[in-house]
């Protein structure tokens, strides 16, 4: 099966590096025009130059609803339509016991990881997808369905994002499909502190024998955003090398 998104326009948050950048590159290689978004112009400029194809960039903080609005408008101005929204940007400013998280970092985690996808989806729907249809993909985490005490607040926002995915899928059908991916541990900057010190041992413990690469998520993302997934909505695709099997087998 050749998964293509020719003629589609995608907007990807957190697209300057890691998983978001890989998703933007895979969508572009599969035929889409892609608007890449994150907070830093220089990194976006470098990423879009490397990805090539029909790409552009817009600076926006994923946790700011007005900037989400501006990014959606910029996409429509640049490419004339919006068919695919990937809510990928997330933050994890606190590691430690969830019971002791301070309010500023809790608020930031919620506003970027959970309220953010609501705002971006809201603007994508009202400016474009309500009339023309489309696909929304939320990048959650297997942490949204399992318990790790050191990143409990982050994981709770991912659990909420999975629920939001199902809610929006019901609300926006039949025109807009809404799905989520729950990645396991992927070798990016965000997760570096978790994997870098112990990579070989962690890989050996994984059912599929290695940690994830951003491209593992990008291929699944492109499938869910394409017409190959036209009868799939409200679902979460776990892409974790089998990591959750350990949780279920004990």
Ligand X SMILES: NC(=O)c1ccc[n+]([C@@H]2O[C@H](COP(=O)([O-])OP(=O)(O)OC[C@H]3O[C@@H](n4cnc5c(N)ncnc54)[C@H](OP(=O)(O)O)[C@@H]3O)[C@@H](O)[C@H]2O)c1
Q: For residues 54 and 64, which CB has a smaller minimum distance to ligand X in the complex?
A: 64
Q: Exactly one of 40, 132, 198, 204 binds ligand X (CB under 6 A); which one?
A: 40
Give the CA radius of gyration of the chain: 17
**DSSP H helical ranges for the chain:** 18-29, 41-51, 65-79, 103-110, 116-124, 130-132, 152-172, 192-195, 199-205, 214-225, 243-249
Helix (H, G, I), strand (E, B) or coil at 34: strand
Q: Which residue is nearest to ligand X (CB)?
A: 18
Q: Taking CB under 6 A as the rule, does residue 39 contact ligand X?
A: yes
Return the active site residues: 154
Least Cα distance to 22 among 50, 1, 41, 54 occurs for 50
The angle, 0 to 180 degrees and rounded to 10, between the axes of the packed helices 18-29 and 41-51 is 40
Query: Looking only at residues 183 through 242 of this chain, which bind ligand X when binding is defined by CB under 6 A?
Result: 183, 185-186, 188-191
Here the tokens at position 183 are 């990645």
Residues 119-178 that bind ligand X (CB under 6 A): 139, 141
Among 12, 14, 27, 223, which residue interacts with ligand X (rule: CB under 6 A)? 14
DSSP 64: -
Segment contacting ligand X by CB under 6 A, of 17-25, 71-79, 98-106, 231-239: 17-25
For residue 74, the tally of other CB atoms under 10 A from its CB is 18
- Residue closer to ligand X by CB (options 4, 29) is 29
> Quick check: 16 binds ligand X (CB under 6 A)?
yes
Judged by CB under 6 A, the residue of 38, 109, 226, 236 near ligand X is 38
* Cβ-contact 139, 224 below 8 angstroms: no
Over the window 49 to 88, marking each residue x when it contacts ligand X by CB under 6 A and - when it does not, the resulting string is ------------xxx------------------------x
Q: Tally the C-alpha atoms within 13 A of residue 105's C-alpha that lie toward its C-beta.
A: 16
CB of 118 to ligand X, least distance (A): 14
First to last CA, the chain: 36
Q: Does 89 bind ligand X (CB under 6 A)?
A: yes
Q: Is 105 within 8 Å of 91 (Cβ atoms)?
A: no
Q: Footprint of ligand X on this chain (CB under 6 A)?
A: 13-20, 38-40, 43, 61-63, 88-91, 112, 139, 141, 183, 185-186, 188-191
């Amino acid at each position: 099966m050749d998964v293509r998104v020719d003629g589609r326009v995608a907007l990807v948050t957190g697209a300057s590096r890691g998983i978001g950048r890989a998703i933007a590159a895979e969508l572009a290689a599969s035929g889409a025009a892609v608007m890449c978004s994150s907070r830093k112009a220089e990194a976006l400029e470098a990423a879009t130059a490397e990805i090539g194809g029909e790409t552009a960039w817009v600076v926006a903080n994923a946790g700011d609803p007005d900037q989400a609005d501006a990014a959606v408008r910029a996409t429509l101005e640049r490419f004339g339509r919006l068919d695919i929204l990937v809510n990928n940007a997330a933050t994890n400013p606190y590691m430690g016991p969830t019971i002791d998280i301070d309010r500023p970092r809790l608020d930031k985690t919620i506003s970027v990881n959970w309220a953010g996808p609501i705002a971006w989806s809201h603007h994508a729907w009202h400016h474009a997808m309500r009339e023309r249809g489309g696909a929304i993909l939320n990048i959650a985490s297997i942490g949204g369905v399992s318990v790790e005490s050191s990143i409990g607040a982050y994981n709770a926002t991912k659990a909420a994002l999975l629920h939001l995915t199902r809610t929006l899928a019901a609300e926006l059908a039949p025109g807009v499909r809404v799905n989520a991916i729950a990645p396991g541990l992927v070798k990016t900057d965000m997760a570096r502190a978790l994997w870098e010190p112990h990579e070989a041992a962690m890989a050996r413990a994984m059912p599929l024998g290695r940690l994830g690469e951003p491209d593992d998520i990008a291929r699944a993302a492109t499938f869910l955003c394409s017409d190959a997934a036209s009868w799939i909505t409200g679902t979460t695709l776990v892409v974790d090398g089998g990591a959750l099997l350990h949780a279920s087998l004990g």
